[in-house]
Structures are given as structure tokens and as C-alpha cells.
Chain A
Amino acid sequence: LAKTTQPISMDSYEGQEVNITCSHNNIATNDYITWYQQFPSQGPRFIIQGYKTKVTNEVASLFIPADRKSSTLSLPRVSLSDTAVYYCLVGVHHSSGSARQLTFGSGTQLTVLP
């Protein structure tokens, strides 16, 4: 199983770029990397997903090195409303065969300060 490790917490100021790294040393060939944002008492919300290199969407970028043993979520110019817990998820689910357990990391509490 691809165990993930993230920093427990991070602080940042409004307008700064924030990078959160997730380590997944035993990621398997078929595993994808997905990041989620969770506010208190709500379900996680999908941010971005990637397999290798770099992926960018309207809210974030995801950097994955060649060995894929880590990934970095980059949030450009954060605001107070970005204060939340961020999870990386590494795993794969094949409906055609036995599924691998989808392993959520412990999450990183990001606090954006004014």
C-alpha cells in the first residue's frame, strides 16, 4: 500500500504562494496522485489529479518528479478562505479486478493569516 506523509501544519500569509509536499515512497506504477481540500464538517473537495510531471488547472498546480515518490501541491496567491486541511490521495481503483486500498494521507492544516 502506498503510505503517504505530509506536514501536519503550515502557515502562510495572504497573497503568498503555498507549496505542500506529500511523500509516497512506495507508489505503484498504476497509482494516481490526487489532492483534496476539506473544510470543517464538510466532505473533501477535489482540487487536482496527476500521474507524472506537471498538471495545472484554474486553482492549483501539481508537480510530480520523475521518480514519483513525492508530489507538491502549489496554491498561487492564497487567501483567507484557503484555510483548510489538504489531503493527498495515492492509489488506484480497478473495477475490473481487485482494488488497491485508497490511502489518504494524514492531511496538512493550512492556515492563511491576514
Chain B
Amino acid sequence: SQTIHQWPATLVQPVGSPLSLECTVEGTSNPNLYWYRQAAGRGLQLLFYSVGIGQISSEVPQNLSASRPQDRQFILSSKKLLLSDSGFYLCAWSEQDNQPQHFGDGTRLSIL
């Protein structure tokens, strides 16, 4: 069966520090991968998606970037965090177009 792993589960970072959140998927090949952010009490906002290694599309302009160095690895990064980057970050995968997405357990990021 397929599984998705995100880490760390929680992270506290100072303003201006770098960020690296990692997501890996097991049990499937060439998945579509997604990064979402969820502000407290709000819905999910799609940040990035990837249909293959090295292929990244951004949905909203922001202080963050994403990379996909391997087929089942998706990384969310920032060179200098802002206070507004705080939130709950979720990684998801789907098998192909229009298939349901399966989410990880998320990373709660707090910026001080």
C-alpha cells in the first residue's frame, strides 16, 4: 500500500532563517505531488505541484520554493522565512490526473 511521510511534525524557526520541509511517498511510481498551506481556521491553499522529477509549478507568488530531486521526494524550501510563512504545511500525492489526493500528517511551522 502507498504511504506518505512528512517531517518534521512541528518546527519553530526565527524570522530570516532558512527552511526545508521534506515529503516522501512510498508504494507508487511517478505520482503527482502537491504542497499546500493551511492558515489557522482556514482552508487549504495550493502552493506547488509537480508532475515529474524536476518539474515544479507554482500556484501563488511567495517566499517559498519547491524541488523534486527524486521521483517520490518533494521538498519545500525558503532562504529567509517571514512571519507570514507560519502555518500548517501539507504534502499530498495522487496517482494521476483527477485522482483523489492523499495527504500527509502535515508540518506545523511557527515563525518567531
Q: Are B43 and A105 in contact (CB under 8 A)?
A: yes
On whether the beta carbons of A104 and B97 are closer than 8 Å, the reply is no
Q: Interface size of A by Cβ–Cβ distance < 8 Å?
A: 23
Smallest CB separation, A111 vs chain B (Å):
15
- Interface range, B side: 20 to 34
Given contacts A49-B100, A93-B49, 4 further A-B contacts (CB under 8 A): A41-B106, A96-B97, A104-B44, A104-B45
Query: A: which residues have CB within 8 A of B?
Result: 32, 34, 36, 41-46, 49, 87, 92-96, 99, 101-102, 104-107
Query: Quick check: A101 and B106 within 8 Å, CB to CB?
Result: no
A42 contact from B36, B51, B92, B105, Cβ within 8 A: B105
Assess whether B108 is in contact with A41, with CB atoms less than 8 Å apart.
yes
Complexed CA–CA distance, A34 and B99 (Å): 9
